[in-house]
Structure 1
């Protein structure tokens, strides 16, 4: 006869036996999340239309031609290179719809766009071909670079799609020196594309969002989106826009254009990468611009001061280098509840880190899982204190102790109320020094 055994919830078993529970020792999961995740919509000549696709920095360096249709060093990829200087992961969105795929007798480009017109197919006789059984080597070229070769192919149906073309399902292969794909066009960028992008972006997590469109209606749309997501949804990120003085900590307003075009928005990708990629315990103040553009820094000292007062993110020249003047956002309306600290992007990075990390912690570890009793609230308190201690260890906040956090039962049995006092650290920006000469 079998003895009792298994696991137990309460000690109410009848049969003799061993009832054993195996439980992982509780581990605090209140770790700091990584930064460096950004998103941006851009017009492109190659790539999927109308949907967000994610690219890692290493993939961009290795596979830029497959992803964007151009070699890493191509001028067409300058915005991508700019954003990846300081971002690790980018959620791209290709603007424009109703683009046309280039095609020829045998193949159709993988994506719509003008880059497809640089594709061509070359069909030569395979070394094992015979009159009775002709075999072909089918190569795909992008410009002058061979990007695919399939050898010993007897029929078009034997061809396998590659990263650049899809082969047609019918037709007869024949020797072809070079047959270009033609008819590829880019889709027209409409204002509605930006709304489509924002709708999709809600499902993603990121630290910063950029928009290179300077039209007032579009920048207002992005500013409103950021405010709604930050204040109503609780998703904390900053949006980088061109000369959009929104008076809001979630909007970074870039003032500088280029020497060749003072109204150019070309610096938006670089700033987006910096805003999203700067560590929580760092500031972008005085950071050297390491991109490829010639930045317009034709500002007087008074104009630089006024730029700071109006909430502009600006570049200025320091000897031969172009540097960030000060790491600020567009918030300027100081109140008792919102001090001037909220205009500092370093402060916002700390506050956003806390908000995002604690929201993830609560959602994954506590929501619907941990009872709202004294022990459960102590566990939540421990995790928050551990998280903040890590922030203090890396000098992102200061003067923190467990006494700064209280976790109490809310008005209902299901709610908890957290009161949290933090003091973000900012980098030194002004030196006031008095030297006495004896």
Structure 2
């Protein structure tokens, strides 16, 4: 269904066109959040395919490594959440196609064993064929990864063997004994910038809250910024992008200034810290802020910034980490919007406000598309139904601390210029977390 923002009532497609404005001068059943999208170069898994990883899933079927492996660090960080907010509920993971990649292989007589996917993970696979003493001519065939048996089957000929999650068997003839043969030749390959554009095309039809880019290619960054703005303004899908070192002057983009040091000594660059920022932003709901949110298991920042450097980064709308009392926290939960207008004031630079507005826009879009468009008449009774739902919905948002000072008269539903159009005006005042507390202490005798 069509969607997005509007300036005049000239849309061709039926849809929900939403302009969300706030009357702020400062800064449940509603608002399901928690979906991350990321394109990540990997050493295992299908290329060019969006995979959905839920928070409780074993990572191995998707990336070839379990959650304890260093190769899984990006998913561990994404799913962490903060000291007072949850992490995302799922990650939409895309492995980009590469040039120069190869599958690991091994040959045992006339049997060829090929890793299921391209990448160096295939080099950790070995195959063992042991003669079955109770069945002459038969062999027990085991697929072994990092010393652990992942698949066991029996057969006399190559045709008896079936491919599994790790390898593909091919060839003709009888099987032959082999104590253990390792696969080799697996190569990850090189990811070109164009692969990220292919990812964005695949991602466009899907719904997500945060798009993460953990690289530093300025061409890819520009493509992500353009994509996320188009998703918000043209397609009506309210989401944000997280990356490092970007100054885009947009409430659609969150920029990470510095990295962190984890308790095990691992230093994460600002690009890698975008994993956690993206996950925490997606997991936080409309009534939560990441102001002073603690980064779990982080003990220091890298690099440490001076007070002047922090002020400069904040003036550019960047997320900054600082260390306090042995823990790492976020200074301010902001995006890169730094130029304010009457339509978009300073309140729009706070991600909590954006979460509230996005939640409302996404929920209105979804409800109207499913329950109202083409199903109710454009008359007084029909428009009253629209208003009643919106008022009830916003009362729920207000009860959960997302907005304040809302009354039913803040919703106006009127006929549009076309006979089949309605215009809905909402006046809402999002609630933002306290960031600055000024205290005057007077000492008396």
How far apart are residue 436 of structure 1 and its match? 3.6
How far apart are residue 292 of structure 1 and its match? 5.8
Distance 1:263 1:321, change over 3 A: closer
Q: Deviations over 1:336-355 (max 9, x none)?
A: 22110000000000000011
How far apart are residue 95 of structure 1 and its match? 2.5
Question: 1:272-351 maps to which residues of 2 (within 5 A)?
Answer: 272-291=278-297, 295-351=301-357
CA distance in 2, matches of 1:417, 1:136: 73
How far apart are residue 293 of structure 1 and its match? 8.2
Say if 2:298 and 2:327, in contact at 8 Å, map to a contact too.
Answer: no
Question: 1:247-262 maps to which residues of 2 (within 5 A)?
Answer: 247-258=249-260
Q: Deviations over 1:138-167 (max 9, x none)?
A: 1100121111111x4233222232211122
CA distance in 2, matches of 1:277, 1:43: 24
CA distance in 2, matches of 1:291, 1:56: 22
For residue 244 of structure 1, the aligned residue among 227, 243, 246 is 246
CA distance in 2, matches of 1:286, 1:33: 23
Say if 2:138 and 2:156, in contact at 8 Å, map to a contact too.
Answer: yes
SS of the residue 2:259 aligns to = coil
TM-score normalised to structure 2 length: 0.86
Gaps of at least 5 residues in structure 1 are 1-29
Say if 2:299 and 2:328, in contact at 8 Å, map to a contact too.
Answer: no
Gaps of at least 5 residues in structure 2 are 1-27, 81-86
Q: Which residue of 2 aligns with 1:6?
A: none
CA distance in 2, matches of 1:335, 1:251: 17
CA distance in 2, matches of 1:303, 1:287: 20
SS of the residue 1:429 aligns to = coil
Question: 1:137-286 maps to which residues of 2 (within 5 A)?
Answer: 137-150=140-153, 152-168=154-170, 170-258=172-260, 264-286=270-292
Distance 1:88 1:293, change over 3 A: farther
CA distance in 1, matches of 2:276, 2:218: 21
Say if 1:297 and 1:315, in contact at 8 Å, map to a contact too.
Answer: no
CA distance in 1, matches of 2:269, 2:179: 46
SS of the residue 1:161 aligns to = coil
SS of the residue 1:50 aligns to = coil
Q: Which residue of 2 aligns with 1:92?
A: 93
TM-score normalised to structure 1 length: 0.88
Q: Which residue of 1 aligns with 2:49?
A: 51
Say if 1:46 and 1:111, in contact at 8 Å, map to a contact too.
Answer: yes
Q: Does 1:405 align with 2:408?
A: no
Q: Which residue of 1 aligns with 2:17?
A: none
Query: Over aligned residue pairs, what C-alpha RMSD do you find?
Result: 1.9
- Name the stretch that deviates more: 162-171 or 327-336: 162-171
SS of the residue 1:203 aligns to = coil
Q: Does 1:82 align with 2:107?
A: no
Say if 2:38 and 2:91, in contact at 8 Å, map to a contact too.
Answer: yes
How far apart are residue 315 of structure 1 and its match? 0.5
Q: Deviations over 1:347-383 (max 9, x none)?
A: 0000000111110111111122222222221111111
- Name the stretch that deviates more: 141-150 or 338-347: 141-150
Q: Which residue of 2 aligns with 1:22?
A: none
SS of the residue 1:342 aligns to = helix
Q: Which residue of 2 aligns with 1:382?
A: 388
How far apart are residue 119 of structure 1 and its match? 0.8
Q: Which residue of 2 aligns with 1:23?
A: none
For residue 125 of structure 2, the aligned residue among 103, 108, 119 is 119
Q: How many residues align?
A: 402
Q: Which has the higher contact order (CA 8 A, sep 6+)?
A: 2
Question: Where has structure 1 moved over 4 Å in runs of 4 or more?
Answer: 258-264, 291-294
CA distance in 2, matches of 1:267, 1:76: 15
